Amino acid sequence: MEQQWRRSEELETANKELAAFVYSVSHDLRAPLRTISGFIKILEEDYAGKLDDTGRDYLKRVYNGSEKMSSLIADLLYLSRISRLEINRMEFNISKKASSAVESLREASPGRSVEVVVQEGLIASADMGLTDVVLSNLLGNAWKFTSKTKNARIEFGAFDEDGRTVYFVMDNGAGFNPEFKDKLFWPFQRLHTDLEFEGSGIGLTNVERIIRRHGGKVWAEGEVGKGATFYFTLNEK
Ligand SMILES: Nc1ncnc2c1ncn2[C@@H]1O[C@H](COP(=O)(O)OP(=O)(O)OP(=O)(O)O)[C@@H](O)[C@H]1O
Ligand SMILES: [Mg+2]
């Protein structure tokens, strides 16, 4: 017991050190990146006429690369912030939160018709803002990975298992190879290419970290072409 406790203390310290390291590296990378982006802008504005089409194409690629890097750094900074944030638990209606996340998704892509079923009246005890991040990532993924599916359907709900509440987000979209179901939660790991579905691969890492900060667990089930289900708990057990 004593040994187990010490091990979890050590892990906690290692995690904190890693988060601090990630924070300072990402923070320091921003300054040189700003220099790169700044000079690309000047090149585009003042020297575009002196370049031929190939030169302008190369410049555009350098610019896209710097934009991508800037968004990856922002992702990393956010990730390290989650590790340091206080968890403010309170009771709230998580069904309403799920519905409003779905509302935002509908507003962002009005052309899509997706059947969404949200189990009403579920009350959670968790950090409300961070639960929003969890829901918008999981529902956002469900939304994205059903974008090529006919009769897309997404469901949010909960069930009791061994005295704990398990929440789930289920979709009938692209699914994934279950062999790699743990890899999904690693930073920048993706099971689909940018060409199939866009993304940087950080969303589920944020989700995992938020759930872990709550003492809960998150896991996934899926099959290629048959959709995916993400489960999570918000309490220790
Ligand atoms: N609902 C889902 N159905 C199928 N695959 C999924 C689903 N959710 C996540 N995945 C797989 O897990 C990978 C990691 O998900 P994650 O949310 O971290 O990244 P992303 O959505 O690709 O990018 P980001 O969230 O950073 O914009 C995805 O690229 C995809 O391969
Ligand atoms: Mg995502």
User: Of all atoms in ligand 1, which is nearest to the CA of residue 191?
Assistant: 31
Burial of 166 by CB count in 10 Å (0-12 exposed, 13-18 middle, 19+ buried)? Answer: middle
pLDDT exceeds 80 at position 5: no
Distance of CA 127 to the CA centre of its chain: 17
Split at pLDDT 50, 70, 90, the class of 1 is low
CA of 179 to the centre of ligand 2 (A): 19
What mean pLDDT is predicted for residues 200-204? 90
User: Of all atoms in ligand 1, which is nearest to the CA of residue 201?
Assistant: 19
**Is the C-beta atom of 176 inside 6 A of ligand 1?**
yes
* Percent of the chain surpassing pLDDT 70: 99
Q: 20-56, pLDDT tens digit by residue?
A: 888 888 888 889 999 999 999 999 899 989 999 999 9
Distance in angstroms (rounded) separating the CA atoms of residues 222 and 216: 21
Distance in angstroms (rounded) separating the CA atoms of residues 169 and 126: 17
Give 103-162 as a 3 state SS string: HHHHHHCCCCCCEEEECCCCEEEEEHHHHHHHHHHHHHHHHHHCCCCCCCEEEEEEEEEC
CA of 202 to the centre of ligand 2 (A): 7
pTM of the shown model = 0.84
Split at pLDDT 50, 70, 90, the class of 93 is very high
**Is the C-beta atom of 40 inside 6 A of ligand 1?**
no
> What pLDDT does 234 receive?
96
What mean pLDDT is predicted for residues 161-176? 95
Give the environment of ion ligand 2: residues with CB less than 5 A.
Answer: 141, 203
CA of 184 to the centre of ligand 1 (A): 7
Determine the residue of 204, 207, 221, 229 to mutate for testing ligand 1's pocket, defined as the one with the most ligand atoms within 8 A of the Cβ atom.
204
